[in-house]
Structure 1
Amino acid sequence: MLVELVDLAICEAWDRVRKRRPDLLVKGDEDAITDELKTELVALRKSDSPPGFNDELFGVPTRDSKVKSSSGESIDPTPDLTIYPARSRAEVSDDQHDALFFECKVIDSSRGLSLYDKNGIRRFTSGWYAGRMPHAGMVAYVLNGAHTAPMHSLTKYLSKTSRGQASTNGARIGCTSAPTQVMNSPGTMAADIAETVHERPTLAIGSYEIALRHLWLLH
Structure 2
Amino acid sequence: MRPTAIRPRPDQIAELTRGLHLPLPEVSSVHLEIIAEGLIRAFSGICLEAQATVASGSEAEVTALMVSRLNAMIEYEPLWGQLVLCVARGQESLSFDGSHLEKRPDLSIILSNQNRGFPLIAEAKIIDAATSKTEVLYCDNGIRRFVEGEYAWGNREAFMIAYVRDGSSISGKLVPFLSNAMTKAPPDYCIEELPVTIGAGEADMAISRHERPFTYLNSSALADGPGPISVWHLWLA
TM-score range normalised by the length of the shorter chain: 0.7 to 0.9
Please tell me whether residue 180 in structure 1 is matched to residue 196 in structure 2: yes
For 2:200 and 2:90, the matched residues in 1 are separated by 28
User: Structure 2 CA distance, aligned partners of 1:71 and 1:182?
Assistant: 33
Out of 35, 42, 67, the residue aligned to residue 93 of structure 2 is 67
* 2:124 equivalent among 104, 125, 128: 104
Is 1:160 matched with 2:180?
yes
**Structure 1 segment 1-219 matched on structure 2, within 5 A:** 1-48=30-77, 51-54=78-81, 56-88=82-114, 95-97=116-118, 99-109=119-129, 110-145=132-167, 147-148=168-169, 150-160=170-180, 167=184, 171-185=187-201, 188=202, 190-191=203-204, 193-204=205-216, 207-218=226-237
Distance 1:153 1:144 in 2: 11
Residues in 2 aligned to 1:124 and 1:63: alpha-carbon distance in whole angstroms: 17
CA displacement at 1:135 relative to structure 2: 0.4
Shift of 1:177: 2.3
- Would the aligned equivalents of 2:181 and 2:189 in 1 still touch at CA under 8 Å? no
**Offset at residue 161 of structure 1 (A):** 5.3
Q: Could you list the per-position Cα deviations for residues 93-133 of structure 1 after superposition, in whole angstroms to 9, with x for gaps in the alignment?
A: x6401x21100000012210110011111011111000010
Instruction: Flag the structure with higher helix content.
Output: 2
Residues 148 and 213 of structure 2 are in contact (CA less than 8 Å); yes or no, is this contact kept in structure 1? no
Q: Distance in 2 between matches of 1:31 and 1:5?
A: 24
TM-score normalised over the length of structure 2: 0.78
CA distance in 2, matches of 1:78, 1:161: 26
57-66 or 121-130: bigger deviation = 57-66
Task: Tell me how far apart the structure 2 counterparts of residues 131 and 172 of structure 1 sit (CA, whole Å).
Answer: 18
Identity of aligned residues (%): 28
RMSD value, Cα: 2.0
Q: Which runs of 5+ in 1 are unaligned?
A: 89-93
Aligned length: 199
Shift of 1:23: 1.3
Query: Distance between the aligned counterparts of 1:23 and 1:80, measured in 2?
Result: 21
Check the 8 A contact 1:180/1:195 in 2, yes or no. Answer: yes
Q: Are the equivalent residues in 2 in contact too, given 1:3–1:100 (CA < 8 A)?
A: no
- Larger gyration radius, structure 1 or structure 2: 2
Shift of 1:87: 3.1
Q: What CA deviation, in whole Å up to 9, does each residue of 1:125-158 have, x standing for no partner?
A: 111000010100000000112x12x134222001
Amino acid at match of 2:121: F
Query: Structure 1, residues 49-86: CA drift from partner, whole Å, max 9, x if none?
Result: xx5101x3211111111111112111111110111111
Would the aligned equivalents of 2:93 and 2:101 in 1 still touch at CA under 8 Å? yes
> Stretches of 4+ moved more than 3 A in 1?
none
**What's the offset of the Cα at 1:27?**
2.0
SS at match of 1:208: coil
Asked if the contact 1:127–1:203 (Cα under 8 Å) also holds between the matched residues in 2, the reply is no
Gaps of 5+ in 2: 1-29, 218-224
